[in-house]
Amino acid sequence: MKRIESTQNALVKHWKKLVTQRKEREKTGEYIVEGFHLVEEALKHKDQIVQIIVRDGVDLPLLWAIDEVVLVHVNEAVSKEIAETENSQGVFAHCKQRQISEDEQFDWKKVLLVDAVQDPGNIGTMIRTADAAGIDAVVLGKGSVDAFNPKSLRSAQGSHFHIPVVRGDLMEWVENLQADGIRVFGTSLDESISYKKVEPSDSFALIVGNEGSGINPQILAKTDQNIIIPILGGAESLNVAVATGILLYAFVK
């Protein structure tokens, strides 16, 4: 049984960086999830687990299948060092993103493209929503916040383990999807139609954009159709994750 008691330990320093630094996550493809619910989801995808981290005094549920995973026990100080929440449950999974081949990407027929969304909670909720709606993948453009930061992971409630989340150039993605015959929808206030006029389909791409400024106009100019969600009351706009939910559920068959 492995045990770590010093916050100066090299592995603890690595974990700490995975929790706090986007650069470290992107360099390694690794990330850390926290809490019973997320670790339980991770255990359903053992190929993505590097190790499980457990604080002294925390009992793991008897039903958890932990035979084949590396378990690292840590003391209170180490747990606190990597905990995201104040009342941490003291259980973590150090994970590694699944490699996604180009071939796999060619097969995606229902894709959510995200342009410059800034709030980690929104990104996480959008990943959860895309997962629920049966979307094939989420593609984040350059300006979007990191989807593997602790707040995004928490909001996504484990959907990172179910649906591929990749980074990409959205202009290229739009072109490639269109070359494959997949219709690409943007959300915009200009030259748009109500989303209710779009027929549900087995193949489509939806682009959603920044909380304040929406989608980059250069990308919008390339879509097949831009759509709006009509505002029927006094609000100026909808939260981007809520809008994503309304649109994805209207578009899927």
233 is an interface residue for its own copies by CB under 8 A:
yes
243 is an interface residue for its own copies by CB under 8 A:
yes
Task: Look at residues 10, 6, 245 and name the one whose alpha carbon lies nearest to residue 131.
Answer: 245
CB of 208 to its own copies, least distance (A): 13
| Residue nearer to its own copies on the CB measure, 11 or 229 | 229
C-alpha 58/C-alpha 70 separation (Å) is 16
245 is an interface residue for its own copies by CB under 8 A:
yes
| Residue nearer to its own copies on the CB measure, 125 or 223 | 125
192 is an interface residue for its own copies by CB under 8 A:
no
| Residue nearer to its own copies on the CB measure, 25 or 128 | 128
| Residue nearer to its own copies on the CB measure, 35 or 158 | 158
Site string for its own copies, 130-169 (x = CB under 8 A): xxxxxx-------------------x-xxx-xxx------
Asked whether 93 and 42 are in contact (CB, 8 A), the reply is yes
CB of 125 to its own copies, least distance (A): 5
C-alpha 232/C-alpha 253 separation (Å) is 25
CB of 87 to its own copies, least distance (A): 14
Task: Tell me, by CB under 8 A, how many residues bind its own copies.
Answer: 36
According to CB under 8 A, which residues from 42 to 101 bind its own copies? none
Name 195's Cβ contacts closer than 8 Å, sequence gap at least 6.
227, 228, 229, 246, 247, 250, 251
Asked whether 209 and 189 are in contact (CB, 8 A), the reply is no
Q: Pick from 43, 128, 185, 187: which binds its own copies (CB under 8 A)?
A: 128
Token pair recorded at residue 113: 């493209």
| Residue nearer to its own copies on the CB measure, 42 or 135 | 135
Name 129's Cβ contacts closer than 8 Å, sequence gap at least 6.
241, 244, 245, 248
244 is an interface residue for its own copies by CB under 8 A:
yes
| Residue nearer to its own copies on the CB measure, 30 or 119 | 119
C-alpha 24/C-alpha 2 separation (Å) is 24
Query: If 0-12 CB within 10 Å is exposed, 13-18 middle and 19+ buried, where does residue 144 land?
Result: buried
Task: Look at residues 7, 253, 219, 235 and name the one whose alpha carbon lies nearest to residue 113.
Answer: 219
Binding region for its own copies (CB under 8 A): 121, 125, 128-135, 155, 157-159, 161-163, 229, 231-239, 241-246, 249-250, 252
